[in-house]
Amino acid sequence: MRITRAFRRSTALVAGLAAVLALSACGSDDGGDDKDAGATTLEVTDEFPITIEHAFGTTEITEEPKRVATWGWGSTEAAIASGVYPVAIAEQLWTVGKGNLLPWVKEAYDEEGIDHPTLLPDDGTGATVPYDEFIAAKPDLILAPYSGITKEQYEQLAEIAPTVAYPEAPWTTTWQDTITITAQALGRSEHGQTILDEIDTYLADQAEEHPEFEGKTIAALYPGPNSVSPYTELDPRLAILTKLGFDVAPSVAELDTSNGGFYYELSWEEVDKIDADVVVTYFDDDKQAAAFLEDQKALAIPAVKNGSVAQVVGREKISAVSPPTALSFKWAGGMPELVTLLSEAVAD
């Protein structure tokens, strides 16, 4: 499951001609007919060739890419927001299921009348790369700045098209760097900066509109059957809340056993030590969320007992803020709804 674990080995790079032709004929199923996938809406701002350094070396992009494929999380949205609509993207099984697009991604393609992209099969962990499908999509650039690809997988993808991997380690790229790297690779770094500026303005505006957030301590939790997983300050879903004026509760760091990870496990017997003014929780459905608020184990958490809980419910909504992307910030069920929930939690 992408939301709670590091969650992210390789299959052989075999692509018979018949298979490639068959896959090429399969593209998207229900996009519009005004523009082909791969369309662009914003002009290039940088000169090519462009060179990007990453964990596996250096990638040179000699000319403006026309057929972009994305893998992992966030680069699809960053590309779209930069004005480039990928021809192939990783499917998001955990969030929306097989064959479906994330709602904010679907909206972006439909609003521009652009054919939906091919969905690259993912087993739900991002660990197995569908090389045949990548070949069939005929990309001239593969973007995976926030992913879990291995060196071997990178090398095989790089045989298909220039590939941009993460800067340092798998699944550790910040959402800001995902936007910056993606925009740079597309020759649209100015647009990338514009995206970040707009997000910073949005967060600053929300902080100003909600002075009640200032100085309040907060913790973000993923409750499980046998333990609770608090997210650390390294995790973007918690770090983003500080942009709204919250302070990460000191108890989050004091209890941390992750040794530099983005979350850690805490037994239910110790949850009373989570001393925060407000907690954010994440649940798949309303039934789970409601049960948590009545669970005697959970009521040992001071904020839960006080009713100061903001519950993000539903996989789409969880994904929209875990971590946020260039498009999910604008999606009504993402940050806008979370801000409202936080305001209600602080008031309780």
CB 140 within 8 Å of CB 65: yes
Same domain? 171 vs 23: yes
Residue-wise pLDDT for 174-203, tens only, equals: 899 999 999 999 999 999 999 999 999 999
> Does any domain span residue 5?
no
Whether 137 is in a domain gets the answer yes
The count of domains in the chain is 2
| Residue 38 resides in a domain | yes
**Is residue 83 in some structural domain?**
yes
pLDDT score, position 34? 54
76 assigned to some structural domain: yes
- Among the candidates 188, 219, 254, a domain finishes at 188
Mean pLDDT lowest for which of 67-81, 156-170, 233-247?
233-247
The answer, yes or no, to whether residue 16 has pLDDT greater than 80, is no
DSSP three-state, residue 124? coil
| Same-domain pairing of 48 and 104 | yes
Residues 32 and 105 in one domain: yes
Reply yes or no on whether the pLDDT at 31 is more than 70: no
Indicate whether 28 and 177 sit together in one domain: yes
pLDDT (0 to 100) of residue 13: 33
- Shared domain check, 176 and 214: no
Residue 11 predicted with pLDDT over 60:
no
Of 32-36, 121-125, 155-159, 301-305, the range with the lowest mean pLDDT is 32-36
Could you tell me what percent of the chain has a pLDDT over 70? 90
- Please check whether residues 166 and 216 belong to one and the same domain: no
User: What is the CATH classification number for the domain harbouring 218?
Assistant: 3.40.50.1980
The CA–CA distances, whole Å, from 14 to 142, 263, 304 equal 18, 37, 53
Range of the domain at 306: 210-347
Does 314 lie in the same domain as 184?
no
User: Rounded to whole angstroms, how far apart are CA atoms 31 and 87?
Assistant: 12
Alpha helix ranges (H) inside 67-213 = 75-81, 93-96, 103-112, 131-137, 151-160, 175-185, 189-209
Residue at 181 is within a domain: yes
**99 pLDDT more than 90:** yes
Residue count (the chain): 348
Q: Establish if 270 belongs to a structural domain.
A: yes
In the prediction, which pLDDT does 348 show? Answer: 74
pLDDT at 126: 76
Q: Does the bond joining 323 to the residue before it have cis omega, within 30 degrees of 0? A: yes
Residue 11 lies in a domain: no
Whether residue 65 is found in the same domain as residue 107? yes
User: What is the distance between the alpha carbons of residues 108 and 223, in angstroms, rounded to a whole number?
Assistant: 33
User: Is the pLDDT reported for residue 18 higher than 90?
Assistant: no
The tens digit of pLDDT for each residue in 267-280 reads 999 999 999 999 99
Indicate if 159 and 21 belong to the same structural domain.
Answer: yes
Final residue in a domain of this structure, among 188, 220, 237: 188
- Quick one: pLDDT band at residue 261, thresholds 50, 70, 90? confident
For residue 223, cis peptide bond before it (omega within 30 degrees of 0): no
Here the tokens at position 98 are: 């097989």
Q: Which residue, 156, 188, 220, sits at the end of a domain?
A: 188
**Are 104 and 251 in a shared domain?**
no
pLDDT at residue 226, rounded to an integer: 92
* 199-248 pLDDT tens trace: 999 999 999 999 999 999 999 999 999 999 999 988 888 889 999 999 99
Q: Are residues 310 and 228 in the same domain?
A: yes
Give the pLDDT score at 12. 32
pLDDT of residue 239: 87
The reply to whether 184 and 214 lie within a common domain is no
Q: What is the pTM of this model?
A: 0.85
Query: Residue 43 class from Cβ within 10 Å (0-12 exposed, 13-18 middle, 19+ buried)?
Result: exposed
Q: What is the mean pLDDT of residues 33-58?
A: 89
